[in-house]
A and B are shown apart, each in its own frame.
Chain A
Amino acid sequence: MDATAAKFLGAGLACLGMGLAAIGVGNIFGNFLSGALRNPSAADGQFARAFIGAALAEGLGIFALVVALVLLFVA
């Protein structure tokens, strides 16, 4: 296979990781929302924690994006 083609394929495959991170972020906010609907009075206190969890899950997807960007523009 051509090296450039392999690079673009690798960048595309790295983007799969971003989709998986999206599942994780969706899980966090979905569970937060279902918990918040059950007990709305406790929701405000856990709001920051939901965002921290989302930020940590998103960070792993960001690593996949960085792999794709490095393949496209640096390597």
Chain B
Amino acid sequence: MTIDPIHQFQVQRYVELLHVSGVSFSFTNSAAFMVGIVAAIFFFLTYATRGRTLVPGRMQSVAEMSYEFIAKMVRDSAGTEGMIFFPFVFSLFMFVFVANVIGLVPYTFTITAHIVVTAVLALMVIGTVIIYGFVRHGTHFLHLFVPSGVPSFLLPFVVLIEVVSFLSRPISLSLRLFANMLAGHIALKVFAFFVVGLASAGVAGMFGAVLPFAMIVALTALELLVAVLQAYVFAVLTSIYLNDAVHPGH
């Protein structure tokens, strides 16, 4: 048995759909999980809200709580005008949240542990900020980079810093989610290999394997916390960045 904690992230091709000049468009396990996640969210939310009772049942409560949680978050950080982005932020949160939690189930594929997925999500956010900012405010959107009340001799440096910090946002937004999921899953698999390696070493090893096994249980609990927290952080930072598009120039 070879020890390869990276194997869980391998993208496997199921069906090749199209092959254009050396680039293959295939239905992979990554795509299958994405479809599954979207389907799970869709069926859960439609099933939970099918009755639309005034006093919500258990399922409807969960749906309403997630709705109100994100609605409050967007309203707090982007204001009432920012609520036009509520469907966007809600979809992003649910997608990342369900993807992170499903990825914790053994033998599943964690799509958010791939930087290409998180980078596309982050570029969607920053693209929305830039396009909406320019469409809504025109060149006034550029006031985002020029804070008021800065001495004129400092202004070029401050503008430079603001531009660099704006450009690093999609990088840090995507890397944070990607690296958290990647590091957590690698750590889980490393401890899993400790259990297998010790248990195969005889009776004494069996007793020794209890320790890394307990560590896996604790790490899984920590990873569940990280999965929820990173989905939350992704959504909060998204609504803060969207606030810049709605209210530029602070």
Contact = CB atoms under 8 A, between A and B. Distances in A.
Interface of A: 48, 51-52, 55-56, 58-59, 62-63, 65-66, 69, 73
B73 A48 contact: yes
Contact of A66 (B175, B232, B236, B237): B175
Contacts of A66: 175, 179
Contacts of B229: 51
A8 to B, nearest CB: 17
23 contacts: A48-B76, A51-B229, A51-B232, A51-B236, A52-B233, A52-B236, A52-B237, A52-B240, A55-B236, A55-B237, A56-B172, A58-B176, A59-B172, A62-B175, A62-B176, A62-B179, A62-B180, A63-B172, A63-B175, A65-B183, A66-B175, A69-B182, A73-B6
A58 B172 CA distance: 10
Interface residues of B, number: 16
A51 B73 CA distance: 13
Given A59-B175, A65-B179, A66-B179, 18 more contacts: A48-B73, A51-B229, A51-B232, A51-B233, A52-B236, A52-B237, A52-B240, A55-B176, A55-B233, A56-B172, A62-B176, A62-B179, A62-B180, A63-B172, A66-B175, A69-B179, A69-B182, A73-B6
Contacts of A62: 172, 175-176, 179-180
Given A48-B73, A51-B229, A73-B6, A59 B176 contact: yes
A18 to B, nearest CB: 9
Contacts of B172: 56, 59, 62-63
